[in-house]
Amino acid sequence: MLTVGEAAPAFALPDATGSIVRLKDLRGQKVILYFYPKDNTSGCTKEACAFQEAQPRIRRKSAVVVGVSADSTSSHASFAAKFGLRFQLLSDESKGTLQAYGVWKRKSMYGRSYMGIERTTFVIDEKGKIQHIFPKVSVDGHVDDVLAVL
């Protein structure tokens, strides 16, 4: 399990256009790295749209938002276009980054057990260290909670 104060695990993942985004390339600004289960689902759409709506406030705090799921780059491109999302959505189909951040977990629904992403947000400081962790995120009010720790 990752802890506040330690270095955030490095990653190099494709965004919706196929360009590779590396954590080290985001140094010098705060990064709101949020992991979400699936494009175009109700909770994930609500969370993404809330982050999009908060973009001016997030930029004023010298931060950027980066979303990560196991969906494909084409799924991300469609999701971003459909909802006007103007921040990067990264694809981790191999699940290596999901595992490195400890968000790929056994879940259960309706008595069925399966592996999936536990909705989690990490705030990473300008030097690449974990500043805050929001585990098991509840979407309502989450963006305001994130803004409060920036």
Separation of alpha carbons 60 and 64, rounded Å: 10
How do beta strands 30-35 and 88-91 pair?
unpaired
Identify whether 44 is a catalytic site residue.
Answer: yes
Residue labelled with tokens 């084409």: 74
3-state DSSP assignment of residue 65 = strand
Which one is catalytic: 13, 23, 31, 44?
Answer: 44
CA 89 to chain centre: 8
Separation of alpha carbons 79 and 85, rounded Å: 8
Separation of alpha carbons 17 and 31, rounded Å: 20
Please give the backbone phi and psi of residue 124, each rounded to the nearest 5 degrees, phi first.
-110, 130
Catalytic residues: 44
